[in-house]
Amino acid sequence: MVSEDPWKKLVDGMIDSVVKLPLIARGAESELHLGAYGGIKAVFKYRRPKPYMDPRLDAMLRRSRTVKEAKVLLHAFSEGVSVPRLLAVYPTLYLLVMEYVEGPRMKEVLEGHVDTSKACSLAKSAAAILAKLHLIGIAHGDPTTSNFIVSPRGLVLIDFGLAEYTSDIEDYAVDIHLFRRASLSTHAAISGILTDCFTRGYREQMGNEADPILRRAEEIELRGRYVEERRTVWGAGR
Amino acid sequence: MVNAATRSSSANNEPVIVLGIESTAHTFAVGIVSSEPPYILADSRRQYVPKEGGILPREVASFFSQVAGEVVREALHQAGISAGDLSAIAVALGPGMGPALRVGATVARALAHYFHKPLVSVNHAVAHVEIARFLTGLLDPVVLYVSGGNTTVLSFRAGRYRVFGETLDISLGNMLDTFARETGLGPPYVVGGEHVIDRCSRGGEFISGFPYVVKGQDVSYSGLLTAALRAYRKGLEPLKNVCYTLREIGFSSVVEVTERCLAHVGKRQVVLTGGVAANDELNRKLEIMAQVHGARFKRIPKKYAGDNGVMIALTGLLSYMSSYNIIEPHRAFIRQRWRVDRVNIPWYPKTLGRSL
Residues B290 and B313 in one domain: no
Does any domain span residue B347? no
A50 contacts B342? CB cut-off 8 A:
no
Interface pTM, i.e. ipTM = 0.89
Residues B85 and B193 in one domain: no
Residues B221 and B336 in one domain: no
CB B354 within 8 A of CB B139: yes
Least confident residue range of A6-10, B273-277, B301-305: A6-10
Q: What does the DSSP assignment read for B177-191?
A: HHHHHHTT--SSSEE
Does any domain span residue B32? yes
Residues of A catalogued as catalytic: 142
CB A19 within 8 A of CB A33: yes
How much is the average pLDDT of B225-254?
97
Does any domain span residue B276? yes
Does any domain span residue B51? yes
Whole-Å CA distances, A128 to A157, A180, B168, B279: 11, 14, 29, 47
Position A156 scores a pLDDT of: 98
A27 contacts B216? CB cut-off 8 A:
no
Number of alpha carbons in the 13 Å side-chain half-sphere of residue B298: 15
How much is the average pLDDT of B55-59?
91
Q: Which residues from chain A sit within 8 angstroms of residue B216, using beta carbons?
A: 141-142, 162, 178
Whole-Å CA distances, A114 to A122, A156, A198: 10, 19, 16
Does any domain span residue B337? yes
Residues B149 and B276 in one domain: yes
Instruction: Convert the pLDDT of each residue in A64-90 to its tens digit.
Output: 999 999 999 999 999 999 999 999 999
Question: Which of A53, A65, A227, A233 is most worth mutating to test chain B (most B CB atoms within 10 A of its CB)?
Answer: A53
Residues B65 and B124 in one domain: yes
What is the least distance, in Å, from the CA of B228 to any CA of chain A?
15
Does any domain span residue B356? no
Q: Which residues from chain B sit within 8 angstroms of residue A224, using beta carbons?
A: 339
Higher-scoring residue by pLDDT: B21, B355: B21
Chain centroid to Cα A182, Å, comes to 13
Q: Which residues from chain A sit within 8 angstroms of residue B157, using beta carbons?
A: 232
Q: Name the closest residue on chain A to residue B283, using Cα atoms.
A: A52
Q: Which residues from chain A sit within 8 angstroms of residue B249, using beta carbons?
A: 57
Least confident residue range of A41-55, B57-71, B263-277: B263-277
**A3 phi/psi in degrees, rounded to 5:** -65, -20
Q: What is chain A's pLDDT, residue by residue, as a tens digit (238 residues)?
A: 555 788 878 888 888 999 999 999 887 788 999 999 999 999 999 999 999 999 999 999 999 999 999 999 999 999 999 999 999 999 989 999 999 999 999 989 998 888 999 999 999 999 999 999 999 999 998 898 889 999 999 999 999 988 999 999 999 998 998 898 778 777 878 889 999 999 999 999 999 999 999 999 988 777 644 344 444 333 332 2
Residues B163 and B282 in one domain: yes
Residues B284 and B150 in one domain: yes
Q: Is pLDDT of B198 > 80?
A: yes
What is the least distance, in Å, from the CA of B241 to any CA of chain A?
13
Of B163, B216, B252, the CB nearest to A142: B216
What is the least distance, in Å, from the CA of A173 to any CA of chain B?
14
Q: Report yes or no: A142 at the B interface, CB cutoff 8 Å.
A: yes
Q: Which domain holds residue B9?
A: 4-129+307-342
How much is the average pLDDT of B319-347?
94
Q: Which of B161, B159, B185, B181 is nearest to B170 (CA)?
A: B181
Q: Is pLDDT of B356 > 50?
A: no
Residues B47 and B83 in one domain: yes
Does any domain span residue B194? yes
Separation CA A36–CA A5 (nearest Å): 27
Residues B114 and B153 in one domain: no
Position B217 scores a pLDDT of: 76
How much is the average pLDDT of B214-221?
84
Q: Report yes or no: A152 at the B interface, CB cutoff 8 Å.
A: no
Strands A95-99 and A40-46: antiparallel
Q: Report yes or no: A170 at the B interface, CB cutoff 8 Å.
A: no
Does any domain span residue B353? no
A23-26 β-sheet, strand order: A23-26, A31-37, A40-46, A95-99, A86-90
Residues B111 and B185 in one domain: no
Higher-scoring residue by pLDDT: A206, B1: A206
Position B230 scores a pLDDT of: 97
Q: Report yes or no: A236 at the B interface, CB cutoff 8 Å.
A: yes
How much is the average pLDDT of B54-82?
95
Work out the percent of chain B whose per-residue pLDDT is above 90: 81
Strands B27-34 and B190-191: unpaired
Residues B186 and B231 in one domain: yes
pTM: 0.86
Chain mean pLDDT for chain B: 92
Separation CA B307–CA B262 (nearest Å): 25
Residues B180 and B277 in one domain: yes
Cis check for the bond before B187: say yes or no (omega within 30 of 0): yes
CB A180 within 8 A of CB A221: yes
Task: Give the count of domains, chain B.
Answer: 2
Q: Name the closest residue on chain B to residue A142, using Cα atoms.
A: B216
Q: Name the closest residue on chain A to residue B159, using Cα atoms.
A: A236
Position A232 scores a pLDDT of: 39
Instruction: Convert the pLDDT of each residue in B146-183 to its tens digit.
Output: 998 899 999 998 789 988 888 888 999 999 999 999 99
CATH no. for residue B253? Answer: 3.30.420.40
